[in-house]
């Protein structure tokens, strides 16, 4: 499967790299960012809008889709792409992270994880094999192996145990036959402990997955402890496979991680902040160093009579068509359109950031 | 101003008529329906979507815009068209109806109506002259004269008094110089009482407005009493001016009113019902008689695995791109996208209904 990941250029200034990942539903230029379509929809947006924004790949959550509408419905529609009318690449997570963060009750066993539905309390058992079967039915381009994701402040013993279970489950997941054209990524755990990260990375990479994710970061640990563990993990990942830092992050965190050699990101930050009226504006047109952006709190009264676009250099629909004054008015009036226009802009900012990052690596500036 | 209203055809089967209204921002084919952009936005939709749906004119609410963002902001943006980025015709109401329905406190005086803001309780006085000045600043294509709209179950005396005040205010509003290209419609009151309707219609039409609205219908009175009063009112309206039945209505009410000679409508029903998952589907492709449509409650479990479009004959974005199963899933998951897709469909249904009505009048079938 080496041909699906095409390495293009390694930076001389950092560990950053530019590459292309060929999936069954199209090519993803890396580094890249995945907007999150939790329930088979990126909140407030249609597929056409995602394409206009420049999304090359989106992420959808197996846990949510498994509970509602249920895998049978999506399978019946012909898979997730058809169900939600998104023609491009989709990565689905395994469901593990949501089981640990959203379900009121869960119990980890050797066999898998038992959990109660966040919707009605009904109990389910998710095994590594079942997680793959579900993702096969969803028909995603990239599937994730089921892992145990402990809290960032978990004890060494807890995190060691989570890593051991993750390895055992990864080996089982890797034995399941994938659907045609599907890739499967393994997840490295180990918290902030260098020795556990090394152990997990060695074990997970020995499985020979199509790509590798760094799990268990930005889940409550102190960020100063995250970065050494991220570096340590990456040092044990094969260079010719894509690397995905799960759940990251703020623009500056993404930039920092790219410099460490990360290729793929997902995060709720741009979309969630958009819904709260916190909008991102680049400070200049090309450079991405230092504090390269500003945060605009659009409900601030100083924008009430501001008839300029949010960012005069931005080519997104929102900035092309509307003023700060109108955006503020929509937020103040609690018009739902505000959420859409803000989401479009923030995702456009994130995807522009990724494009600039790729260009800066290519031109030797990053 | 006779040239702005172009009478095209009168039905031989009913009082229905087809005409065109030329405004400063484009032509409106009548009979037609106005989607409601209460706060300078049709809930969940952009201007581009309104155009795609086929909207030829929209309505915006002076009361809401006056309170937030305030007239100065919209004037500063260059008017309401620029502020909300809608290039087509706009009708603004006078603010009167919302003062009577939304403000906790109001007091009618000869001079005008005092009211407290629904937002912060601040008190304002709205006079007939002030209502025109505000609408001039908004820059709408059709302005409405300030009226007194009593509850539908008001006593004869109350409604008589309201009609008298409405006439006095209409005369004052009519003396204010309109903005370039603006039209001004007068409003007939009189409740369900034929003599009061006749009196109000005679007085209001004597002012020589650019068009006439039937106010005070569907505001709590029994519907069987509305229709005789609607007919009575219309019998005193000049044939060569547009007629607007305010706040109507259900599809069958619109059809019935068209047959009585009404040209223009506005109502929250299609958009509000859309947000509650109640969707309209034509029963057949052309005919609009009898019970010509069905109401689909999309959250019904029978649609969970229904992979057909909502209406296979419908050309709206929603029906072209998505299945009933997906729409239901979005509603069940409380995804905001559900509201948009449903709103697009229901407005498309209403505007298709108006198009069919015009075609059926032209072809002699209505």
Which residues, 6+ apart, have CB-to-CB distance to A73 below 8 Å? A83, B304, B305, B325, B329
What are A214-223's pLDDT values in tens digits? 999 999 999 9
DSSP A67: H
Q: What is the rounded distance in angstroms from the CA atom of residue B248 to the CA atom of residue B255?
A: 10
Contact: A336, B339; criterion CB under 8 Å: yes
B305: which chain A residues are within 8 Å (Cβ-Cβ)? 72-73, 76
Spatial separation of the C-alpha atoms in residues B189 and B214, rounded to whole Å: 7
CA distance B361 to B345: 24
DSSP 8-state secondary structure symbol assigned to residue B179: P
Segments making up each domain of chain B, as ranges: 2-267, 274-362
Residue B324 confidence (pLDDT): 98
Which chain A residues are Cβ-neighbours of B40 within 8 angstroms? Answer: 326, 329
Nearest chain A residue to B82 by CA distance is A322
Please tell me the distance from the alpha carbon of residue B253 to that of residue B248, in angstroms, as a whole number. 7
Among A77, A305, A328, beta carbon nearest to B76: A305
**Residue A73 is nearest to which of B83, B325, B339, comparing CB atoms?**
B325
Burial class (CB in 10 A: 0-12, 13-18, 19+), B259: middle
pLDDT at B1: 44
In sequence order, what are the residues at sequence separation of 6 or more whose Cβ sits closer than 8 angstroms to the Cβ of residue B1? Answer: B183, B210
Which residue, among A6, A14, A29, has the nearest Cα to A364 in the 3D structure? A14
DSSP structure string for A44-65: T--HHHHHHHT---EEE-HHHH
Q: Which helix (H) or strand (E) holds B361?
A: helix B336-362
Question: Which residues in chain A have Cβ-Cβ distances shorter than 8 Å to B41?
Answer: 330, 333, 335, 337
A340 close to B (CB below 8 A): yes
Give the mutation candidate from A71, A85, A298, A337 for the B interface (greatest B CB count, under 10 A).
A337
**How confident is the prediction for chain A on average, in pLDDT?**
96
The C-alpha atoms of residue A106 and residue A98 are separated, in whole angstroms, by: 11
CA distance A278 to A293: 12
Assess contact for B116 and B63: CB atoms under 8 A: no
How confident is residue B10, by pLDDT bands cut at 50, 70 and 90?
Answer: very high
pLDDT band at B276 (very low <50, low <70, confident <90, very high): very high
Could you give the 3-state DSSP secondary structure of residue A31? coil
Active site annotation includes A141: no
* Chain A residues within an 8 Å CB radius of B336: 43-44, 336, 339-340
Residues whose CB is less than 8 angstroms from the CB of residue B198 and which lie 6 or more positions away in sequence, other chains included: B190, B232, B233, B236
Interface subset of B 282-321, CB within 8 angstroms of A: 304-305, 307, 321
**Which fold does the domain A2-267 belong to in CATH?**
TIM Barrel (3.20.20)
Binned at pLDDT 50, 70 and 90, residue B135 comes out as: very high
ipTM of the complex in this document: 0.96
B335 part of contact set with chain A, CB < 8 Å: yes
Calculate mean pLDDT across residues A17-42: 98
Residue A164 region, left (φ>0) first, then alpha (ψ -120 to 50), else beta?
alpha
pLDDT at A199: 98
Give the per-residue pLDDT at A2: 43
Rounded to the nearest angstrom, the minimum Cα separation between B48 and chain A is: 10
Q: What is the mean pLDDT of residues B285-295?
A: 86
Q: Decide if A219 touches B, using CB distance below 8 A.
A: no
The answer to whether the CB of B216 falls within 8 A of the CB of B244 is no
Q: Which residues in chain B have their CB less than 8 angstroms from residue A339's CB?
A: 336
Six token digits for residue B233: 């009112």
User: Choosing among B41, B70, B305, which should be mutated to test the A contact, i.e. which has the most A CBs within 10 A?
Assistant: B41
Give the integer Cα–Cα distance in Å for B242 and B213.
Answer: 8
Q: How many helices (H) and strands (E) does chain B have?
A: 14, 16
pLDDT tops 90 at residue B285: no
What CA–CA distance (Å, rounded) separates A330 from A339? 9
Using a CB–CB cutoff of 8 Å, tell me whether A194 touches chain B: no
B240 to chain A nearest CA, in Å?
Answer: 38
- Distance from the B318 Cα atom to the nearest Cα atom in chain A, whole angstroms: 10
* B51 has a chain A CB within 8 A of its CB: no
Q: How confident is the model at residue B192 (pLDDT cuts 50, 70, 90)?
A: very high
* A151, pLDDT greater than 90: no
Q: What is the pLDDT of residues A36-59, one digit of tens each?
A: 999 999 999 999 999 999 999 999
HSE-up (13 A, CA, CB side) for residue A298: 34
State whether the Cα torsion A207-A209-A214-A215 is positive or negative: negative
Please compute, for residue B295, the number of CA atoms within 13 A of its CA located in the half-sphere on the CB side: 11
Tell me whether B332 touches chain A (CB under 8 Å).
yes
User: Is any Cβ of chain B less than 8 angstroms from the Cβ of A22?
Assistant: no
Name the minimum distance, in Å, from the CA of B47 to any CA of chain A.
10
Provide Rg for chain B, Cα atoms. Answer: 20
pLDDT value at residue A103: 79
Question: A329 and B44 in contact by Cβ < 8 A?
Answer: no
User: How far is Cα B33 from Cα B56, in angstroms, rounded to an integer?
Assistant: 8
Residue A264 has pLDDT above 60, yes or no: yes
Question: 3-state SS of chain B: helix, strand, coil percent to 5?
Answer: 40, 20, 40
Give residue B2's pLDDT.
44
Q: Is the pLDDT of residue B57 over 80?
A: yes
- Whether pLDDT at A284 is above 90: no
Q: Please write the tens of the pLDDT for every residue from B232-255.
A: 999 999 999 999 999 999 999 999
In the structure, what pLDDT confidence band is assigned to residue B289 with cuts at 50, 70 and 90?
A: confident
Q: In what order do the strands lie in the sheet with B17-23?
A: B5-10, B17-23, B26-30
**A45 contact residues in B (CB cutoff 8 A):** 337
Give the three-class secondary structure for B201. helix
Strands (E), chain A: 5-10, 17-23, 26-30, 32-34, 58-60, 90-92, 106-108, 113-116, 123-126, 142-144, 183-188, 211-214, 243-245, 264-266, 278-282, 293-297
- In terms of Cβ atoms closer than 10 Å to its own Cβ (0-12, 13-18, 19+), residue B151 is middle
Q: How far is B309 from chain A (nearest CA, A)?
A: 12
CB A158 within 8 A of CB A190: no
| DSSP secondary structure string for all residues of A188-205 | E--TT-HHHHHHHHHHHH
User: pLDDT-derived band of residue B3, with 50, 70 and 90 as boundaries?
Assistant: low
What is the mean pLDDT of the segment spanning A14-34?
A: 98
Mean pLDDT, rounded, of chain B: 96
Residues of B in contact with A79 (CB under 8 A): none
Measure in Å the smallest separation between the Cα of A252 and chain B Cα atoms.
Answer: 29
Contact across the interface for B69 and A45, Cβ inside 8 Å:
no
Determine contact, residues A77/B307, Cβ cutoff 8 Å. yes
> Is pLDDT of A1 > 50?
no
> Is it the case that residue A3 has pLDDT exceeding 70?
no
Give the helix/strand (H/E) hosting B30.
strand B26-30
Backbone angles phi, psi at A334, to 5 degrees: 55, 35
Report the residue from A76, A83, A304 with minimal CB separation from B73. Answer: A304
Q: Contact A335/B39, CB-based, under 8 Å?
A: yes
**CA dist., res. B42 & res. B58, Å (int):** 8
| Rounded Cα–Cα distance for residues A4 and A10 (Å) | 18
Pull the structure tokens for residue B5. Answer: 């209203």
Residue by residue, DSSP assigns B99-127 as HHHT-S-EEE-SS-EEEE-TTT--EEEE-
Residue holding tokens 């489950």? A169
Contact A39 B305 (CB under 8 A): no
Three-state SS for A266? strand
As a whole number, mean pLDDT of residues A161-165 equals 97
How far is B288 from B252, CA to CA, in rounded Å? 9
Check whether B122 has a pLDDT greater than 60.
Answer: yes
User: How would you classify the pairing of strands B211-214 and B243-245?
Assistant: parallel
Q: What's the whole-number mean pLDDT along residues B182-186?
A: 98
Q: Which of B353, B352, B329 is nearest to B341 (CA)?
A: B329
Residues of A in contact with B340 (CB under 8 A): 44, 46, 336, 340
Q: Within an 8 Å CB–CB cutoff, is residue B175 touching chain A? A: no
pLDDT for B100 beyond 90: no
Q: Which of A87, A96, A91, A196 is nearest to A138 (CA)?
A: A91
Phi-psi region of A116 (alpha: psi -120 to 50; beta: other; left: phi over 0): beta
């Amino acid at each position: 499967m080496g041909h699906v990941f095409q390495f293009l250029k390694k930076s001389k200034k950092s560990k950053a790299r530019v590459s292309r990942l060929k999936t069954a539903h199209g090519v993803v230029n890396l580094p890249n960012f995945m907007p999150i379509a939790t329930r088979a929809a990126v909140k407030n947006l249609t597929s056409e809008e995602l394409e206009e924004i420049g999304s090359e790949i989106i992420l959808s959550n197996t846990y949510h889709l498994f509970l509602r509408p249920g895998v049978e419905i999506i399978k019946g529609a012909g898979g997730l792409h058809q169900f939600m009318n998104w023609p491009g690449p989709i990565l689905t997570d395994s469901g593990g992270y949501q089981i640990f963060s959203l379900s009121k009750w869960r119990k980890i066993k050797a066999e898998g994880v038992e959990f109660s539905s966040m919707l009605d309390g009904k109990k389910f058992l998710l095994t590594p094999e079942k997680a793959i079967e579900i993702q096969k039915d969803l028909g995603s381009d990239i599937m994730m192996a089921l892992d145990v994701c402990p809290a960032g402040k978990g004890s060494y013993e807890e995190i060691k145990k989570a890593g051991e279970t993750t390895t055992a489950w990864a080996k089982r997941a890797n034995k399941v036959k994938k659907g045609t054209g599907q890739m499967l990524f393994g997840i490295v755990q180990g918290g902030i402990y260098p020795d556990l990260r090394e152990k997990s990375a060695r074990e997970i990479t020995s499985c020979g997955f199509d790509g590798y994710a760094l799990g268990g970061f930005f889940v409550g640990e102190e960020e100063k402890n995250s970065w050494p563990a991220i570096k340590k993990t990456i040092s044990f990942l094969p260079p010719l496979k894509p690397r995905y830092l799960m759940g990251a992050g703020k623009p500056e965190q993404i930039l920092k991680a790219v410099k460490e050699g990360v290729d793929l990101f997902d995060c709720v930050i741009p979309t969630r902040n958009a819904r709260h009226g916190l909008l991102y504006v680049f400070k200049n047109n090309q450079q991405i160093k230092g504090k390269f952006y500003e945060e605009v709190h659009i409900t601030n009264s100083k924008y009430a009579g501001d008839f300029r676009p949010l960012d005069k250099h931005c080519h997104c629909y929102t900035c092309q068509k509307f003023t700060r004054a109108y955006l503020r008015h929509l937020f103040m009036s609690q018009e739902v359109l505000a959420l859409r226009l803000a989401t479009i802009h923030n995702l456009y900012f994130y995807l522009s950031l990724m494009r600039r990052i790729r260009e800066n690596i290519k031109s030797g500036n990053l």
